[in-house]
Amino acid sequence: MEQQQRIEILQKLIQIDTTNGNEAAAAHYLASVFSDFGIASEQLHYSDERANLIVEVGSGAKTLGFSGHLDVVSAGNHEDWTYPPFSATHTEGKIYGRGATDMKAGLAAAVIAMIELNQDPTFTGKLKLLATVGEEIGLLGARQLTEQGYVQDLDAMIIGEPTQNTIVFAHKGVFSYRVESRGVSAHSSVPELGKNAIDKLIAFYINLQAELGKITAENSVLGAFVHNTSIIEGGTQINSVPDYAHLIGNVRTIPEFDNEQIEQLLRDVIVKMNDHDPDSDLRLVVTQSSYPMFSQPDAELVKIAQSVGKAIIGQEIPCIGISGGTDACEFTRGNPQMPIIIFGPGNETPHMVDEYVEVANYLQMIDVYKAIAKQFFAV
CATH number of the domain to which 277 belongs: 3.30.70.360
Instruction: Quote the pLDDT of residue 324.
Output: 83
Exposure class string for 341-367: b at 16+ Cβ within 10 A, else e? bbbbbbbebbeeeebbbbbebbbbbbb
Task: Clarify whether residues 271 and 359 are in a common domain.
Answer: no
Say yes or no to pLDDT of 328 above 80.
yes
The pLDDT-based confidence of 281 (bands split at 50, 70, 90) is: very high
Query: Which is the catalytic residue, given 17, 48, 49, 71?
Result: 71
Cis peptide before 103 (omega within 30 of 0): yes
Instruction: Quote the pLDDT of residue 331.
Output: 95
Task: Clarify whether residues 13 and 143 are in a common domain.
Answer: yes
Q: Is 71 in the active site?
A: yes
Q: How far apart are CA 291 and CA 330, in angstroms?
A: 7
User: What percentage of the chain reaches a pLDDT higher than 90?
Assistant: 96
Cβ–Cβ under 8 Å, residues 348 and 164 = yes
Q: Which of 239, 266, 290 is the last residue of a domain?
A: 290
Compute how many other C-beta atoms are within 10 angstroms of the C-beta atom of residue 158.
27
Cα 330 to chain centroid distance, Å, stands at: 9
Task: Clarify whether residues 22 and 138 are in a common domain.
Answer: yes
Task: Clarify whether residues 34 and 79 are in a common domain.
Answer: yes
* CATH code, 351: 3.40.630.10
Q: How far apart are CA 249 and CA 351, in angstroms?
A: 22
Write down the pTM of the prediction.
0.88
Total domains, the chain: 2
Q: What's the whole-number mean pLDDT along residues 97-118? A: 98
Q: What's the whole-number mean pLDDT along residues 87-102? A: 98
Q: What values do phi and psi take at 359, rounded to 5?
A: -60, -40
Task: Clarify whether residues 22 and 158 are in a common domain.
Answer: yes
Do strands 125-132 and 63-69 pair parallel, antiparallel, or not at all (unpaired)? parallel
Task: Clarify whether residues 345 and 254 are in a common domain.
Answer: no
Instruction: Quote the pLDDT of residue 138.
Output: 86
105 against 295, higher pLDDT: 105
Q: Which of 234, 257, 290 is the last residue of a domain?
A: 290
Q: Which of 290, 311, 333 is the last residue of a domain?
A: 290
Q: What's the whole-number mean pLDDT along residues 340-365? A: 98
Task: Clarify whether residues 69 and 152 are in a common domain.
Answer: yes
Say yes or no to pLDDT of 379 above 80.
no
Task: Clarify whether residues 151 and 58 are in a common domain.
Answer: yes
Q: Which domain holds residue 275?
A: 173-290
User: What percentage of the chain reaches a pLDDT higher than 70?
Assistant: 100
Say yes or no to pLDDT of 87 above 80.
yes
Instruction: Quote the pLDDT of residue 59.
Output: 95
pLDDT tens, residue by residue, 19-78: 999 999 999 999 999 999 999 999 999 999 999 999 999 999 999 999 999 999 999 999
Q: What's the whole-number mean pLDDT along residues 261-275? A: 98
Q: Is 42 in the active site?
A: no
Say yes or no to pLDDT of 14 above 90.
yes
Say yes or no to pLDDT of 11 above 80.
yes
What angle do helix axes 3-14 and 359-378 make, rounded to 10 degrees?
Answer: 110
Q: How far apart are CA 144 and CA 23, in angstroms?
A: 14
Q: How far apart are CA 17 and CA 24, in angstroms?
A: 11
Task: Clarify whether residues 314 and 243 are in a common domain.
Answer: no
Which of these, 213, 284, 223, 207, lies nearest to 249 by C-alpha position?
284
Task: Clarify whether residues 235 and 129 are in a common domain.
Answer: no
Q: Please list, in sequence order, all residues whose beta carbon lies within 8 angstroms of the beta carbon of residue 352, skipping any fewer than 6 positions away.
A: none
Cβ–Cβ under 8 Å, residues 146 and 333 = yes
Task: Clarify whether residues 149 and 214 are in a common domain.
Answer: no
Query: Which is the catalytic residue, given 135, 199, 243, 281?
Result: 135
Which of these, 85, 51, 68, lies nearest to 136 by C-alpha position?
68
Instruction: Quote the pLDDT of residue 323.
Output: 85
Task: Clarify whether residues 238 and 281 are in a common domain.
Answer: yes
